[in-house]
Structure 1
Amino acid sequence: MSAQEETVTQAITQDGDHLTVSGGTPASSLGRFSWAMFDFANQPYYTLITTFIFAPYFASGFIGDAVRGQELWGYTQSMAGLVIALGSPILGAIADQTGARKPWLAFFSLVFAAAISCLWFAMPGAPEGAFFIMGAVVVAAFSMEFAIVFNNAMLPAIVPEKKMGRLSGFGWGIGYVGGLIALFIVLLLMVANEETGKTLAGLAPILGLDPALHEADRFTGPMTGLWFLLFILPLLLFTPDVPRTRMKLSEAARKGLAQLGHTLSSLGRFRNIALFLISRMVYYDGLAAIFAFGGIYAAGTFGWKIETLAIFGIVLSIFAAIGAFAGGRLDDAIGSKRTIVLSVTGLVLSVLLAVSITRDEIFFIIAVPPVEPGGAPFSSLAEQVYLLSGILIGVFGGPAQAASRTLLARLAPASMMTEFFGLYSLSGKATSFIAPFAIAVATGIYESQRAGLAVIIGFLVIGLLGLLFVREERSAAL
């Protein structure tokens, strides 16, 4: 342990309520709240684009074939995961050399907003443009994840260690609130009934969005980009950043890559962190796949349209927010590892329940009346049980994600925090192309969305088993 690291560690131990992990003064309440607003800003991307609205539209509306659409979406997410896997640890290492995180975060935020806005061009019945849309999705995905690397790396410098779990959980919680608000905007102001031409609130759709052309589905792209740029402003304005060094980018890249190589070659000395990162890599692949394919599966299985998907998303977001807020307090009370174990176990059972459901069957063997075409939302027993599985996924998903980033902040050496958060992003994305790829392959081979969704369970179980051997203690720096 270096002298600086030892001093910081002693300070944290002696005054854990008043110093950050890096040994500095915690950010103000406004600064911490503004940091959490990043989750509020980015959640509509996951809620509207990758889960409830655009992804199901991509499969069933844009491509026009739910099975083929799920397969193509799987390959798209797989490609994005590969780019993220290669780039995230490099960027984290470079950031450790250049200091300030905000300039990087702002740059990738702009790239994300530009790419996600291109989804407006996903015209229904024009699948010949699939590669352009798939490319835009890939660019948006890796830009968002790269921004998250730098946002996560700011956490240990703005709040005392004993309060990281609560702030992380609060961030996830208000993130789900942001997703919930975005879904209400879509449902009440954007989605018009094709017969009446009015939204659920009895209003004409904003901007004259045409339901016949699925303009509400497509407008979620530019809406998400504008939302993100607007709500990251508090972070950029009020959350303190570490000082920027005078080091040139080329020199920072060289030193950062050298340090990254040294860290990777020395992971044997960080075996506990390595075990956590590998375990998290696997269970997070499954968790990400749940949100990426749950809405697609529902749209293909039950024929849900945008209105029903939006209602489904609103219900899940409410319970996910509750789970995230409660999970943050649970994290500080019983520890990050125990919180994750409980959450991932709940996710395994929830996905198993979801996979057991078809249009006319629940729990794999119990026949139920099939879904009536054109029926009221959630009017069939199969839909109601699927809704229950979604609620459980929401409740357990928030704590699993929030406690994971808190656990790394508790394990990593203070002087190598950004570097390890780069590896953390790598652990979330290094194999993230495998889960979507496996889902795509299984879907294509068996010509079944159900077979593809079942793949997720294996990722969750393997990651959970590895996590059981992780010790919740901070490692010393090299």
Structure 2
Amino acid sequence: MWRMTNPPPAAVLPPAANAKTPGTTWQVVAWSLWDWGGAAFNAVMTTFIFTALYLTGDDFGGADKATATLAFALSISGFAIALLAPVAGQRSDHSGRRKLWLGINTLIVVVLTGACFFVQPHESYLLFGCLLIAAGHVFFELAGVNYNAMLLQISTKKTIGRISGYGWAAGYLGGIVALLVVYYGLIKPEVGLFGITSADGMTYRAVAVFSALWMLIFSIPVFLAIPESKPDPNMPHVGFFQSYRELFRTVVRLGRTAPHTLYFLISSAIFRDGLAAIFTFGAVLAVGSFGFKTGDVLIFAIAGNVVAAAGALSAGFLDDKFGPKAVIVTSLIGMLISGTALLFLDGKNAFWVFGLILCLFVGPAQSSARTFMGRLAPEGQEGEMFGLYATTGRAVSFLAPQLFGLSIVIFGAQRWGIIGILVVLLLGLLLLLPVKAPPHGAAA
């Protein structure tokens, strides 16, 4: 359990980010490289290449059916994350094994990603492929609980925003490099690296192997540079199921003594689900509804990642200056406007313009949501609070995929899935507006 006193944590920056010395440059770089490596799963596997160009293609029953199946599989993964994430974070706080569990979960994602090599281009493999991607999401989120908590080990109250931005920017830039390697090494040439061709879907199956190796290699530095977290001696060791009782007590206590922390967890749960849906279904929409070909998707992916990286970097400095809430609200409004435009406009040019605007705002919203939580997390309970952050973010993670898939089923066309994403973003914005922002910069 963790303890609270007045004033509530919604108005208090954790001592871990107040009084300690900042992390070294090498620690910040090593921490950011995990995001760089994770881009292989996020950008290559689940956004621009494997799911968009392969798993939701004609070989798997057509775009509409395959996309809806993927959406429902991801909604199931959201329930699993909601059940496991807070307890995983809580137990890593208690045991002082944050880095260990980051490593275990990262390795599981690597294995699941590599297993996508066995997804052959036939409709009978659709469910298998969707389940691998969905399971990968579960363990990637569990790894992210501990990874996000590490942010407070290498940042201070004055640098948390920009260091979070560095991590997101590294992820986007890593995505660019990984996409370039995949495109020019495997997809574009008739005979790619190691003699790989498109026969039997081997091009995209090889992409899965590349992505697994990419993530494995670039995850190593964080384990060498950042020391293991220390266990809290005041926290009792409890069993797995008793951890849920402790979690319930924490939530009740938050509602009583730090309600704005709870309000933020709820509001961010919803708008972050919308952000995740943009990445999951953006490239799928580009191909299925806006006439993009393979080369178009790769070029857009690279441009989108450049824009998103620039947004994340600028958000880090704006976050430290104006606070995370201002950055998130501005970003959500920008995404709602550009997303609405995509709902009614046709053609590649429309997607290029408004799709890039979406990318510009997604990075800042992601980065500042993480620092918002970081500014609220009490020292020693970072893992538990980021576990709650992941859980609330995934407790409703079925919402955007379900609405996206349901909209396709109701209206009979893939494009109408955009409505589900817009509804989720708008609801998240409305719930965020009354939340009290944490102190930032000199005010902290």
Q: Given the two structures, how large is their TM-score scaled by the length of structure 1?
A: 0.85
The question of whether the paired residues in 2 share the 8 Å contact of 1:92 and 1:420 is answered with: yes
Identify the match of residue 47 of structure 1 among 43, 50, 61.
43
User: What is the CA distance between 1:220 and its match in structure 2?
Assistant: 2.2
CA RMSD of aligned residues (A): 2.4
User: What is the CA distance between 1:252 and its match in structure 2?
Assistant: 5.5
Q: In the alignment, what sits opposite 1:316?
A: 304
1:96 paired with 2:83, answer no
SS at match of 1:304: coil
Identify the match of residue 305 of structure 1 among 289, 293, 298.
293
| Distance in 2, Cα, partners of 1:62 & 1:119 | 15
Q: In the alignment, what sits opposite 1:342?
A: 330
Identify the match of residue 164 of structure 2 among 159, 163, 168.
168
Q: In the alignment, what sits opposite 2:251?
A: 264
| Distance in 2, Cα, partners of 1:249 & 1:207 | 54
Cα displacement string for residues 251-285 of structure 1 (whole angstroms, at most 9, x for unaligned residues): 35366433212112223222101111111111111
Q: In the alignment, what sits opposite 1:331?
A: 319
Aligned residues with identical type, % of pairs: 32
AA in 1 matched with 2:379: A
| Distance in 2, Cα, partners of 1:243 & 1:414 | 11
SS at match of 1:26: coil
Cα displacement string for residues 197-217 of structure 1 (whole angstroms, at most 9, x for unaligned residues): 2xxxxxx41122212433222
The question of whether the paired residues in 1 share the 8 Å contact of 2:404 and 2:420 is answered with: yes
Map 1:371-390 onto structure 2 (within 5 A): 382-390=347-355
Cα displacement string for residues 435-470 of structure 1 (whole angstroms, at most 9, x for unaligned residues): 101211221222111221221111111111111111
1:123 paired with 2:120, answer yes
Q: Given the two structures, how large is their TM-score scaled by the length of structure 2?
A: 0.91
Q: In the alignment, what sits opposite 1:436?
A: 401
SS at match of 2:229: coil
Q: In the alignment, what sits opposite 1:251?
A: 238
AA in 2 matched with 1:259: E
The question of whether the paired residues in 2 share the 8 Å contact of 1:186 and 1:310 is answered with: no
User: What is the CA distance between 1:87 and its match in structure 2?
Assistant: 0.8
Identify the match of residue 81 of structure 1 among 59, 78, 81.
78
Number of equivalences: 432
Q: In the alignment, what sits opposite 1:395?
A: 360
| Distance in 2, Cα, partners of 1:288 & 1:219 | 25
User: What is the CA distance between 1:351 and its match in structure 2?
Assistant: 1.1
Task: Give unpaired runs (5+ residues) of structure 1.
Answer: 198-203, 359-381
1:281 paired with 2:246, answer no
Identify the match of residue 228 of structure 2 among 212, 225, 241.
241
SS at match of 1:251: coil
Larger RCO (alpha carbons 8 Å, 6+ apart) = 2
| Distance in 2, Cα, partners of 1:344 & 1:464 | 7
| Distance in 1, Cα, partners of 2:291 & 2:247 | 47
User: What is the CA distance between 1:235 and its match in structure 2?
Assistant: 0.4
Q: In the alignment, what sits opposite 2:421?
A: 456
Q: Which sits farther off after the overlay, 45-54 or 261-270?
A: 261-270
| Distance in 1, Cα, partners of 2:237 & 2:433 | 41
SS at match of 2:269: helix
- Residues 444 and 249 of structure 1: is their aligned pair in 2 closer, same or farther, counting only changes over 3 Å? farther
Task: Give unpaired runs (5+ residues) of structure 2.
Answer: 440-444
The question of whether the paired residues in 2 share the 8 Å contact of 1:88 and 1:425 is answered with: yes
